[in-house]
Structure 1
């Protein structure tokens, strides 16, 4: 079967499951990954005869997409803040909203020497990206999952940056061992009551440990991290959070009650309250 014929088979198989634009994106990325074709080369190779091995790889990916498995897990890679990252189902897929959090920190600390701690680093997206764009920064990243830290370390190596990784359960932590100018976290914040809003590709495949919190204690990570940060941040140090869009004002109140000043709530590109900056 030639590539053009397979493309039509691919689109037909996903027709009722995904929007056409999304299916087109899937096919483009798989063609780049499996055939080593640049995007502009794909239509130039429509008459390329697929080998049996190539068709098997496409078929396997297609079957996984039919089950709503995220494409990023299928190919094992993604891009965040313009940088390459490897992924596995042990870590969340980095979101565009989180890139805005990284950009906020960069704007505040570019060209400055600073010590940064990323709590709940997952794939290392925040820590590794900051290490690349803040060359004067010293970056530490913490996570409860040894498997996540393995992926994060791979990403630090792939991006040729130095990040210190620590395996630790932040909820069981009594104190942070060092002081920092910046503490940043994108902790679990999706309440159980919000599961109905979550798409199958997320709820069935991404790690629940990094996603969900109890309905009756939705801000437990924010409270714990803020209490630790208040002691560990240098004077005028800054705490940055990605937050649950439905709990913006509650999170602001929590930080003020704990003792932070200059608490700023900012919306993401979609207009949802998504991130907070608070100064010690």
Structure 2
């Protein structure tokens, strides 16, 4: 059954009501349309009276069904926008949070020296390592994680963001054979230690 885009959006806002409020639902539908069709908010407004194809309805319906099962939209779409970066994410890694972006800003603001050695423990998607590699002046960055799947995602993200990072598989609770003898910055998710790591 064909519907105009405006009508289809309204129907999906109603479908999402048990899980999301109206503003969240509108935001979700907007980023779904941006991902599937490349449409901006302006495009959506212009196309409001146009019919939505059956193919597009099928694709969106599948995503809505997953949202109603409480799957994060980032995992459904396979990516997230964070700290000015578009990063791949899967259930193998945590979705980067706003607080983590703030941590990166603190590190950058407090460390103006060049050529700093940075160690990102439990790197996950590589978000912190990548952001620091892009914003610190000429750093050497190492990311460590125990998960092979996480390291694969982190490596893909580093390549997409065009930064060089040494990723290493290891359990951070055990002795690690690190590529640098010492580190100026050691960061792990929500904490930062500014001390030398003698390995």
The two structures have a TM-score, normalised by structure 1, of 0.66
Write out aligned runs for 1:15-30 (5 A): 15-30=17-32
Pick from 131, 134, 137 the counterpart of residue 133 of structure 2.
131
Pick from 153, 156, 173 the counterpart of residue 151 of structure 1.
153
Aligned counterparts of 1:168 and 1:276: Cα–Cα separation in 2: 19
Aligned counterparts of 2:72 and 2:18: Cα–Cα separation in 1: 17
The runs of 5 or more residues in structure 2 that have no matched partner are none
User: How far did 1:51 drift?
Assistant: 1.9
Specify the SS of the correspondent of 1:74. helix
Aligned to 1:194: none
Partners of 1:111 and 1:136 within 8 A in 2: no
User: How far did 1:277 drift?
Assistant: 4.8
Pick from 42, 45, 48 the counterpart of residue 44 of structure 2.
42
The runs of 5 or more residues in structure 1 that have no matched partner are 187-241, 243-274
Aligned counterparts of 1:183 and 1:169: Cα–Cα separation in 2: 15
Aligned to 2:80: 78
Aligned to 1:88: 90
Aligned to 2:109: 107
Partners of 2:4 and 2:50 within 8 A in 1: yes
Specify the SS of the correspondent of 1:161. coil
Specify the SS of the correspondent of 2:94. coil
Aligned counterparts of 2:150 and 2:8: Cα–Cα separation in 1: 36
Aligned to 1:98: 100
Aligned counterparts of 1:93 and 1:162: Cα–Cα separation in 2: 22
* Cα separation, partners in 2 of 1:30 and 1:59, compared to 1, 3 Å: same
Aligned counterparts of 1:110 and 1:141: Cα–Cα separation in 2: 21
Partners of 2:145 and 2:168 within 8 A in 1: yes
Q: How many residues align?
A: 193
User: How far did 1:173 drift?
Assistant: 2.3
The 4+ residue runs of structure 1 with deviation greater than 6 A are: none
Aligned counterparts of 2:163 and 2:56: Cα–Cα separation in 1: 34
CA distances 1:161-204 after superposition (whole Å, capped 9, x unpaired): 11110011111226645311111111xxxxxxxxxxxxxxxxxx
Specify the SS of the correspondent of 1:180. coil
Partners of 2:185 and 2:192 within 8 A in 1: no
Aligned to 1:183: 186
Aligned counterparts of 2:169 and 2:176: Cα–Cα separation in 1: 15
Partners of 2:148 and 2:169 within 8 A in 1: yes
* Cα separation, partners in 2 of 1:80 and 1:59, compared to 1, 3 Å: same
Aligned to 1:55: 57
